[in-house]
Structure 1
Amino acid sequence: MKCRIDNGNTCRRCHRSGVPCIFVPRANAAGLPINLGVLDPSQAEVNRTVMRRLKMIEDYLGFNAPEDSLLGMDPPNGQMEEDEAETPEDHALSALWIAAAALEKACPPSVGAGGVIWHRNTIKQLWLRFHETMPRLHFLPNKQTFSSPRPVLLASILYCSSARGTPEVAELAPHYFTVLCNAIAQLSIPNSEIGRPPDHSDEAEEWAFQTVLGIILAGLMTEAYVRETGIWISIAYRLILEHSPPHVDERSREWRRLFGGCQIVDLEHASLHLSCPMIPIEAPIPTLQTSPRDQLYRLSRMMHTGLAHFTGRGLPTIWSCFTGDAPPDTTSATCAFSAVDAAVIRDWARQLDEWLVDFSSSNASGSGPGAHESASSAAMSEQDRTLVFRQYVLHRLVVLSIYHPARGCNLYSNSITPNEQFELLLSARATLRLHLNDKSIWSNWDFVMITWAALIVLQAVEGGAGELDGKKPTSHPFPKQQPTDLTGADLTNIRIHLEMLRRTNEPRPSLRDKLVSRLEHSLGQVATPSPTALRDPSLALPPLSPSFDYSWQIFDQASLQQVTYPSWPLAPGAAQLQTPLQ
């Protein structure tokens, strides 16, 4: 008598006999209907994973199997919620779900935090929050809106918004980072759904513009600690060359500004790792070329020339100070500098000083980012002036960090002169004070450079050259005195910067967590007097006066006075401070 399962639980014979069924089908038995509901949860999850993989293979091979044939598969996570009446706002965001479905399909089933990251409410909140709270991009001063976001741009926005969001959404940031990496990786996979541009030329242009913008946003949030940022930039540059239109009109996207933004991320990444920039100075396509008087073009040109000259020299990088990869002795690298290197540095500094003078004037019409194309106001706004000064101070510290022997985070190197100490410490203090007036600092590069400046200032404090509260600095930055107390103005500014770094809900490990750890480690050693605290009086700089010879300085001694720096508000409890040059 053959055993047949009729009711799905026991065979007929065992059912009639009322005994437990121990039915085992023969090897050549007919296939049985699969009912995942009677399986244990672990086995059901395995079957769902197998069916998802099978569906991906069928889609790749072109087999369009009907959805109901996928036994036991859940609907897309974004549709797992109960259908509710769509509001007009939800209907306007219908394109979000198409892009989100493409992202979910490109990710492994293990990504998703239990499917929470694909919930429509989560995606909607992060999408709207990004447009409400994220600051403007200096290469795209006009706020960009997209009614039909493409997958890479959506993944980048979801990651940015979650990483800088509330503690609840910040927990999802690592999952959205994985989604972002998968989306960008799809651009290098032939015929992938995310990497394949639309067939229509207008849709392909819009797809490429959004994809490049998404990569730039991702680069601003991941540069420094993600070395693959350089690879992402090269992908963005290729997309710009392939899809930027040959003729630009009022209906076209701002490809010229987008190219400038790609250059900025490339140069910032190269400055931290002292690598050669990948994107050329001059755009190879006429529609991407900009005026030589453009603010970002001039800044990018001088940065590209200087970084390319010093690449491949074995010099320690700024980022190596935070990873512990910097060589202990930088004297040999410093001695390798030639007269040509010094000329390059001085020309770089001269151009940067001229850039500040040209674009910090209150009546500099069209001097804002890209304002040569849309000079709608006769004067710069205070926000534009703050941005110009921030860029100048940060890039000035980059130049000094490349040339001076103190690049290895050693302000008291045997090969550094008091004059070089003076100029480096002056720039480091100006960089550290950026947080006192500029509340729009948010990119990784800005945080790394200000933390680098804080480490230099901490060495000055440890060596007895810190600024005291309620006192003006002495005539030279390295006086003969005991180390300052822990209430000094320098340490107050450092603590302000630490507080700004801690204002994040990003899960650990994160870039800010790494910067805080490095700075706290150095801050904990300040109380110990250094042997360099009592310095030789002969090394003291003479009092500053108008007749003093400043020819030894790389930068113009009046460059920091081109903006209203003395009028900036100070931290609570800090007295009015003046720089040594003032």
Structure 2
Amino acid sequence: MKCRIDNGNTCRRCHRSGVPCIFVPRANAAGLPINLGILDPSQAEINKTVMRRLKMIEDYLGLSAPEESCLETDPPNGQMEEDEPETPEDHALSALWMAAAALEKVCPPSIGGGAGSIIWQRNMIKQLWLRFHETMPRLHFLPSKQTFSSPRPVLLASILYCSSARGTPEVAELAPHYFAVLCNAIAQLSIPNSEIGRPPDGADEAEEWAFQTVLGIILAGLLTEAYVRETGVWISVAYRLILEHCPPHADDGGPHRYGCAREWRRLFSGCQIVDLEHASLHLSCPVIPIEAPLPALRISPRDQLYRLSRMMHTGLAHFTGRGLPTIWSCFTRESPPPDAVMSATCSFSAVDAAVIRDWARQLDEWLVDFSSNSSASVSHDPSSSSSSVTSAAAMSEQDRTLVFRQYVLHRLVVLSIYHPARGCNLYSNSITPNEQFELLLSARATLRLHLNDKSIWSNWDFVMITWAALIVLQAVEGGAGELDDLTNIRIHLDMLRQTNEPRPSLRAMLVARLEQSLESVQTPSPTALRDPLQQPPLPLSPAFDYSWQIFDQASLQQMTYPAWPLAPQLQAAPMQ
């Protein structure tokens, strides 16, 4: 009796007999058709990996032509080809698939692991790509949202990571894999003649490639600054690309093949922002110079972002290399060093105090200039990196909220130059009551940002607000707490927990650090907490000498009252 497999499991004879099939085909039996689709997925992945490595060896030895490669007809992982018919929308995203294929081609097989069959699926890439353009907030250095129909690989990798990290629980599980893809793509920029790091032929195409690559690095930096030290290296690469590909005398008002070519000045400001924010947390010297070396990148001295960046650059450069403790170090070490050790290595001179006071004065003036309804234009340069409004009166509520948020956060940076140097201890013997009072006011104002500003999303904002929460917790523990301190801290904790990104992540690290400090604080009695609405803040006596204040008295009082951020008395108050 001739045996043959009918149902794919047993031969017909064994099936009728009801016995386990021990069928072995004869040597001259016709070969059975093999359906690769029923192979175990893990085995199929191994087979493709082996074939890919064999292809690389053959290409190196010159044994095979590109058209003979099985990888050309069978896309990597079999994910870039879909069985479903292509829709007009998919056809419009053809450049998206080309960028994804380039990313997958240069990624090691280890990237993705078990999720490798998902991260390269067209449906997943399309979903993350569209979600980014629909939900990601406006960047303050790019007032108008940019949409790219032909993304380059680094920009696509950055968008896939940003969108997955801030996405639903299902896509957030893929964030670590897309982060590995992003790191690999940026690393390709430093490999000679790499497919991703090699600019295309043609001046226009090379400029577009460089612009998108720099923008991708900036987006990645906003979600990696602080806890990824390599962010500083990425910014250096982005700055080099700007210098190499930005037209030295580009006319921002002239015609361009690519609309984004008009935004080189804004892109340069974005690089400066990420660089300064990252440097402020690590107290390192900024990489991007404050004055752009190319005429096409120079911004009006009256520009909002230029003035803020200039004072930050000057202050940070002065205190870099001194061995001072940093804001980030207070999150990474278990306990601060003793005050005695800190005071021996962190002494401040009269010059340091003068730099701090000048920094604070400029920041106070910046707030008045860009939050007052009667102030002049934020910038007379229509191509500057600030919003294209002609007067502060035309600024939207969102713009004014952003200005006040930047002021509060940068104010805490200035005061924190001294605070970590005293062992991160609000009650250190080396800190005076006046300094303690001013620092605590700024910390409370920073902690309240969540109450009025729902657009907070970057790493730097989360780190600074958590840093403020730790300072306020010390005040509560020391008996100088207010009624709403613990409530505001828990609100911030809830905001940090609103993430689906797998651990370890920055926000999970901040939550753990803040919860650890909360556990060590004994809940005070409500009668022991001061009510700011019932009692005036101390000291506020008219006869009191306010010369010790680093910042303007009006801004200190403004932060004490619950009516901020847009109280008229601060907006119209002249600088003293």
Match of 2:203 among 191, 201, 204: 201
Question: Which residue of the partner structure matches residue 572 of structure 2?
Answer: none
* Alpha-carbon separation, structure 1, partners of 2:40 and 2:207: 49
- Displacement of 1:382: 1.0
Q: For residues 32-56 of structure 1, what are the alpha-carbon distances to aligned partners after superposition, in whole Å with 9 as ceiling and x for unaligned?
A: xxx9969987665444212212334
Whether the 8 Å contact between 1:405 and 1:416 is mirrored in structure 2 is: no
Name the % identity.
82
Match of 2:398 among 371, 375, 383: 383
* Alpha-carbon separation, structure 2, partners of 1:294 and 1:61: 58
Question: Which residue of the partner structure matches residue 186 of structure 1?
Answer: 188
- Displacement of 1:20: 6.7
Q: Does 1:78 align with 2:104?
A: no
Match of 1:508 among 497, 503, 508: 503
My pick for the range that moved more, 36-45 or 311-320, is 36-45
- Displacement of 1:142: 1.2
> Which runs of 5 or more residues in structure 2 are unaligned?
1-21, 28-33, 530-536, 566-576
* Alpha-carbon separation, structure 1, partners of 2:473 and 2:66: 65
Whether the 8 Å contact between 1:230 and 1:269 is mirrored in structure 2 is: yes
Whether the 8 Å contact between 1:100 and 1:118 is mirrored in structure 2 is: yes
Q: Residues 60 and 106 (structure 1 numbering): CA distance in 2 closer, same or farther, change over 3 Å?
A: farther
Whether the 8 Å contact between 1:435 and 1:497 is mirrored in structure 2 is: yes
Whether the 8 Å contact between 1:156 and 1:218 is mirrored in structure 2 is: yes
My pick for the range that moved more, 208-217 or 71-80, is 71-80
Q: How does 1:21-40 map to 2 (within 5 A)?
A: none
Question: Which residue of the partner structure matches residue 17 of structure 2?
Answer: none
Match of 2:300 among 257, 270, 291: 291
- Displacement of 1:414: 1.2
Q: Residues 92 and 342 (structure 1 numbering): CA distance in 2 closer, same or farther, change over 3 Å?
A: same
Q: Does 1:281 align with 2:276?
A: no
Question: Which residue of the partner structure matches residue 320 of structure 1?
Answer: 329
Give, as a single letter, the amino acid of the residue that structure 2 aligns with 1:357.
V
Q: For residues 442-481 of structure 1, what are the alpha-carbon distances to aligned partners after superposition, in whole Å with 9 as ceiling and x for unaligned?
A: 000000000000000000001111112xxxxxxxxxxxxx
Q: Does 1:153 align with 2:155?
A: yes
* Alpha-carbon separation, structure 2, partners of 1:60 and 1:270: 43
Q: Residues 142 and 45 (structure 1 numbering): CA distance in 2 closer, same or farther, change over 3 Å?
A: closer
Q: Does 1:360 align with 2:407?
A: no
Q: For this pair of structures, how many residues does the alignment match?
A: 514
Whether the 8 Å contact between 2:369 and 2:376 is mirrored in structure 1 is: no
Question: Which residue of the partner structure matches residue 479 of structure 1?
Answer: none
Question: Which residue of the partner structure matches residue 97 of structure 2?
Answer: 97
* Alpha-carbon separation, structure 1, partners of 2:39 and 2:397: 66
* Alpha-carbon separation, structure 1, partners of 2:367 and 2:344: 30
Q: Secondary structure at the match of 1:275?
A: coil
Q: Secondary structure at the match of 2:170?
A: helix
* Alpha-carbon separation, structure 1, partners of 2:469 and 2:125: 38
Q: Does 1:494 align with 2:489?
A: yes
Whether the 8 Å contact between 1:292 and 1:298 is mirrored in structure 2 is: yes
- Displacement of 1:360: 1.0
Question: Which residue of the partner structure matches residue 449 of structure 1?
Answer: 464
Match of 1:332 among 343, 354, 365: 343
Q: Residues 41 and 152 (structure 1 numbering): CA distance in 2 closer, same or farther, change over 3 Å?
A: closer
Whether the 8 Å contact between 1:117 and 1:176 is mirrored in structure 2 is: yes
Q: Secondary structure at the match of 1:206?
A: helix
> Which runs of 5 or more residues in structure 1 are unaligned?
1-17, 24-34, 469-488, 535-540, 570-582
Whether the 8 Å contact between 1:36 and 1:44 is mirrored in structure 2 is: no
- Displacement of 1:336: 1.6
Whether the 8 Å contact between 1:159 and 1:176 is mirrored in structure 2 is: yes
Match of 1:554 among 523, 543, 550: 550
Give, as a single letter, the amino acid of the residue that structure 2 aligns with 1:182.
N
Q: Residues 565 and 213 (structure 1 numbering): CA distance in 2 closer, same or farther, change over 3 Å?
A: farther
Q: Residues 356 and 77 (structure 1 numbering): CA distance in 2 closer, same or farther, change over 3 Å?
A: farther
- Displacement of 1:79: 2.6
TM-score, normalisation: structure 1? 0.82
* Alpha-carbon separation, structure 1, partners of 2:366 and 2:224: 28
Q: Residues 556 and 333 (structure 1 numbering): CA distance in 2 closer, same or farther, change over 3 Å?
A: farther
* Alpha-carbon separation, structure 1, partners of 2:119 and 2:222: 22
Q: How does 1:147-296 map to 2 (within 5 A)?
A: 147-249=149-251, 250=253, 251=256, 252-296=261-305
Q: Does 1:519 align with 2:514?
A: yes
Q: Does 1:374 align with 2:385?
A: no
My pick for the range that moved more, 552-561 or 541-550, is 541-550
Q: Residues 565 and 363 (structure 1 numbering): CA distance in 2 closer, same or farther, change over 3 Å?
A: farther
* Alpha-carbon separation, structure 1, partners of 2:46 and 2:385: 57
- Displacement of 1:548: 2.2
Whether the 8 Å contact between 1:139 and 1:370 is mirrored in structure 2 is: no
Q: Residues 426 and 52 (structure 1 numbering): CA distance in 2 closer, same or farther, change over 3 Å?
A: same
Q: For residues 531-561 of structure 1, what are the alpha-carbon distances to aligned partners after superposition, in whole Å with 9 as ceiling and x for unaligned?
A: xx99xxxxxx964133321100111121256
* Alpha-carbon separation, structure 2, partners of 1:524 and 1:332: 28
- Displacement of 1:179: 0.5
TM-score, normalisation: structure 2? 0.83
- Displacement of 1:526: 1.4
Question: Which residue of the partner structure matches residue 467 of structure 1?
Answer: 482
Q: For residues 247-271 of structure 1, what are the alpha-carbon distances to aligned partners after superposition, in whole Å with 9 as ceiling and x for unaligned?
A: 3233333101100110110111111
* Alpha-carbon separation, structure 2, partners of 1:68 and 1:335: 63
My pick for the range that moved more, 395-404 or 62-71, is 62-71
Q: Residues 105 and 492 (structure 1 numbering): CA distance in 2 closer, same or farther, change over 3 Å?
A: same
Q: How does 1:386-465 map to 2 (within 5 A)?
A: 386-404=401-419, 408-465=423-480
* Alpha-carbon separation, structure 2, partners of 1:71 and 1:202: 29
My pick for the range that moved more, 444-453 or 407-416, is 407-416
Whether the 8 Å contact between 2:77 and 2:117 is mirrored in structure 1 is: no
